[in-house]
Amino acid sequence: MVMKMQEIIETTKMSTRGQVIIPKDVRDYIKAEENTIFTVIPLDKDTILMKKMDKKKLLDEFRNIRGSIKEKLS
Mean pLDDT score of the chain, rounded to an integer?
88
Q: Amino acid letter at 52? A: K
pLDDT at position 43 = 94
* Residue 51 CA, distance from chain mean position: 3
Specify which residues 44 forms β-bridges with. Answer: 47
Q: Amino acid letter at 66? A: R
C-beta atoms surrounding 26 within 10 Å: 17
Q: pLDDT 10s per residue in the chain (74 long)?
A: 565 666 888 999 999 999 999 999 999 999 999 999 999 999 999 999 999 998 888 889 889 888 888 777 75
- Quote the percentage of the chain above a pLDDT of 70: 89
* Side-chain half-sphere exposure of 30, counting CA atoms within 13 A: 17
Residues 28 and 62: their CA atoms lie apart, in Å, by 28
- Please give the model's pTM, rounded to 2 decimal places: 0.65
